[in-house]
Amino acid sequence: MLRIDAHQHFWKFDPVRDSWINEEMKQIQRDFLPGDLAPVLQRNRIDGCVAVQSDQSLKENDFHLRLAADNHFIKGIVGWVDLQSDNIEEQLQELSRFKKIKGFRHVLQAEPDPDFMLRSAFIRGIRHLRQFNFTYDILIYPKHLGYAKQLVADFPDQRFVIDHLAKPLIKSQVITGWKEEMEAIALHKNVSCKISGMVTEADWKRWQKEDFNIYLDTVFEAFGSKRIMFGSDWPVCLVAASYEKMMEIVTDYTANLSTNEQADFWGGNAIEIYNLI
């Protein structure tokens, strides 16, 4: 079974477009391209990856498609499309020609309106994803989980993936509210969760492995072994940990899983959910 990093990013750094990469994140204020990631994956015995959008433009899809054409280890792309567009069905049909594009994501966490995902125009776009076999990645904070639960309930046949455990407040070790909402959304079998992005929600300088256990316990118990997958969130993770240190957290945590469960977590589930290879 291939080992897959189900969540990482590439970009050519633009200080205006990428203003979310602030001065606290100076170490990632530069280009990150496949040539930077390939040796990292090789060192960590990762066979392939899913490249996820960071810029909300159609140019982002073209950028990732060019990279994937030249780098076979990029097994899939989670791109961007304006789901509220009047001609969304036509756009999705056009994008479905590109087999490496597996789904889409919108930066919902940055929208001022917390129930943005329930807007009628946005929902109309979600409605068209399944006919082209596209997934949808949900990028949110804990405060959005109630709205996300309504969204996934309205589309039981659509595959959804929660990015970064919905960004719990790991630095503050807050679990109340997030735990109950994650358990509730996990009851919907069309929803999976990426074990990714944890170190950036922790204390960047002083986190300990134990800080993540209560969050991992919740997600592993709620979603089960078939609906969780590993993602590095490279290079964003570098603000808080090296790729190796970030992997060490989840490697140690999953050490007691069965051989089959480990194979699913480290690649099998991503291959199934994103229809990779």
Alpha carbon separation from 266 to 6, 39, 232, 247 (Å, rounded):
9, 18, 11, 11
Express each pLDDT in 45-74 by its tens digit: 999 999 999 999 999 999 999 999 999 999
pLDDT of residue 1: 82
pLDDT of residue 277: 77
pLDDT of residue 201: 98
- Mean pLDDT within 187-198: 98
Express each pLDDT in 2-44 by its tens digit: 999 999 999 999 999 999 999 999 999 999 999 999 999 999 9
Claim: this prediction has a pTM higher than 0.75: yes
Roughly how many angstroms between the first and final C-alpha of the chain, as a whole number?
11
Express each pLDDT in 68-85 by its tens digit: 999 999 999 999 999 999
Q: Which tokens go with 111?
A: 């929208």
Asked if the model's pLDDT at residue 183 lies above 90, the reply is: yes
How many other CB atoms sit within 10 Å of the CB of residue 120?
A: 7
Residues 6+ apart with CB under 8 A from 34: 10, 67, 70, 71, 73, 74
Residue at 102: amino acid letter:
K
Average pLDDT of the chain to the nearest whole number: 97
The torsion angle over the Cα atoms of residues 104, 262, 232 and 174, rounded to 10 degrees, is: 90
pLDDT of residue 94: 97
Q: Which tokens go with 179?
A: 């735990």
pLDDT of residue 168: 98
Give Dmax (Cα) for the chain: 49
Q: Tell me the CB-side half-sphere exposure of residue 167, using CA atoms within 13 A.
A: 15
Q: d(Cα 270, Cα 91) in Å, to the nearest integer?
A: 25
The torsion angle over the Cα atoms of residues 230, 215, 32 and 10, rounded to 10 degrees, is: 60
- Mean pLDDT within 149-169: 98
Express each pLDDT in 82-127 by its tens digit: 999 999 999 999 999 999 999 999 999 999 999 999 999 999 999 9
Express each pLDDT in 246-267 by its tens digit: 999 999 999 999 999 999 999 9
Asked if the model's pLDDT at residue 205 lies above 90, the reply is: yes
- Mean pLDDT within 183-196: 98
Q: d(Cα 25, Cα 54) in Å, to the nearest integer?
A: 15
pLDDT of residue 33: 98
Alpha carbon separation from 200 to 86, 100, 259, 272 (Å, rounded):
36, 28, 29, 27
3-state secondary structure the chain: CCCEEEEECCECCCCCCCCCCCHHHHHHCCCECHHHHHHHHHHCCCCEEEEECCCCCHHHHHHHHHHHHHCCCEEEEEECCCCCCCCHHHHHHHHCCCCCEEEEEECHHHCCCCCHHHCHHHHHHHHHHHHHCCEEEECCCHHHHHHHHHHHHHCCCCCEEEHHHHCCCCCCCCCCCHHHHHHHHHCCCCEEEEECCCHHHCCCCCCCHHHHHHHHHHHHHHHCCCCEEECCCECHHHHCCCHHHHHHHHHHHHHHCCHHHHHHHHHHHHHHHCCCC
pLDDT of residue 111: 97
pLDDT of residue 16: 93
Q: d(Cα 161, Cα 103) in Å, to the nearest integer?
A: 10
